[in-house]
Structure 1
Amino acid sequence: MAEMAEDERFMAEALRLAHMNLGATGSNPSVGCVIVRDDGDGLRIVGSAVTAKGGRPHAETQALAAAGPAARGATAYVTLEPCSHHGKTPPCADALIAAGIARVVVSVIDPDERVSGHGLEMLRDAGIKVVTGVLAEEGERELEGYLMRKRSNRPYVTLKLAVSADGMIGIKGRGQVPITGAEARAFVHRLRAETDAILVGIGTAIADDPQLTARIQGLEHRSPLRIVIDDDLNLPVTSKLARTARDVHVLVVTGQRDGSVAFIERRQALETVGVEVVVCDPKVPADLLAALATRGVSSLLVEGGARTAQQFLNDGLVDRILLFTAPLALGEEGVPSPLDRKLIPVGFVHTRTDTFGDDLLDTYEYERTS
């Protein structure tokens, strides 16, 4: 029991580290690694690391470097099974073996077919004691985007909506209307910084002229890939998205391979300012998600508008709903939300409620049977 408690304590620290670079490690998962030893005066951490921004170096090799000779005979706590294949870097399993690690504790087994138990097998064959499944539920949650991409060939999708007290998400013809307060908006910016990509429909892009970036001091460089569903390529080149496309990538999705002269001109104008145009039927979000997965996108935040949100819900492609409810009312000219606290789609389970100033945030998770 004492060893289990210590394993959970140090794995919790590894998970905390993993969260630090969530959304910043490219196609690689953000993994935490903590190396612990006891020289007779109690357990102590001698090395720790998180997957570097961009995806390399991996957490294990950095933590081993920090530990140095102290790694020999120590225990390594890793949130995801150490890799066992040669890619751009040698296998982390080999690095753990070479460093003389005596015991490896893992939270989640890697579903990547190149790993999927092979890393653990390498460690055991080298005489290293291996323990798996420590804080597995927490590990699955921390790695949910990566695991969804590997298991289902699509990103983990979070739908975020801000709804007024009378069930509206905006006002017709008014463009972007602040619904939530500063505390809730700050939370959303932090969420963007931890997400690989963010998506809106063209209606929202034109009406609100959003930036869709992470605008919190110190996190500006963590803005996600910005995606607009825009079949007719109506995104104005003067929009904030187009004007900043060379700074933060913008991807516009159309289903049209060919088009009129005007359509071709609009495409050329967008590409000239740095917008990437991708052909993928906007009416089939599943195809878009599969295409994003091939790019290494593991998490997607859908922010609007009502039609886009409804389409993702109808197609069963939403994994989590973040529903902000504000106390103000927008009135008869408001744009109705596709859902509110009294109307949550079947299959979603309420998991928590948080308060941000005067605003409420309800979180709903979709319970999948397989």
Structure 2
Amino acid sequence: MGAAGAMGMLASMMGRGEAAQRTMHLQLGSSQPAPGEPKAGHDVPPGLNMGQTLPLVSPKRAPEAPAREADLPEGMEKPKGRMKIYWGCGDNVRSGQPIVIDFAKVVAGQQTVNIPAVRVSVPSGPAPGRSRTYGDWPNPEDTKPFPANASLRGDHTIKGNYSPEIRFSIGERHDFMLPVAFAPLQQTANGGMSVRWRPIPTATGYFAFAMGATQGTEDIVLWSSSEVADTGGALFNYIPPGEVARLIRDKVVMSSQTTECTVPGQVVKEMGTPFLRFIAYGDELNLVHPPRPQDATQPWEQVWAVKVRLRSTAGLMLAEGMGADRGAGEAREERTPSQARPEAPATPQPEQKSGGAVDDAVKEGVKIFRGIFGK
């Protein structure tokens, strides 16, 4: 009898070039209960330089706190200024920009909140709430640092008392992605900032977002590289290649051949000291055991499935001369072993809803920032 579950692995690189620091987050979930205390481990290849086995520890269940979705984050006051939203690469701002949300007008009922967001299908990873039994790494029992020369290539084995034994290999194409490497930033004659980066061979597309605050005001300024109005809140998750291809066709995501994007001069001026966040989407490896027969009439029961998902991210201040490998890179890999039933399709990220109160704008803004900065 097959066991349903999911395995996730988050591997990160942060720093400059060869000195990039790498981290990894492993997650194992199963629909099967553990006979007693849950125990599981991930046997990793020697090239990872992390020992033989990483323990996957099941978190202790804590009582759920009452939902407070309508509340603002602790310590945050209702903003008094405006939120200005720009989009598109180029030296000059396009016509029809920015979208301006004036919080004073929202409070007075003179403006509704309408934060633009493109619909994005983001796959869900393993989590305690979606699995009967769950374990992850790092955890309170093991948090050792990652070596800079770590490699995912080689044989991997997952063993546990609540999942089947899962054996698979990772090849060069699904090893850590290269970190994002920026060239020194250059200011254009119009005051824009030319952002250039080294192409990543395994990238399927790129997306950039910047934010800042206008000096002497309480205005928040947002910009994204999308050619259509979008704040990018959902775009800093892992996005599968097929969805990335659709977003490239819709002019939301930059193609993998793109190596430059200019933040418009007006945006840079209004942002004061803006911070840029950048993501390169990576490939996806899908494995199932036993393999699905070509003849659909043949009986088949899936025992486990493995999904390997990769991404590389970076961030830097938008100031002339910055860059030159000063970004922070991240590679993400998620695995879903052991599914008796096919995984349900990921639910598309809904577009932001318009509302009639300043709290709506603040909460939507907080969602955007959390999505982009991983809070």
TM-score by length of 2: 0.20
Higher relative contact order (CA 8 A, sep 6+): 2
Report the structure, 1 or 2, having the larger strand content.
2
TM-score by length of 1: 0.20
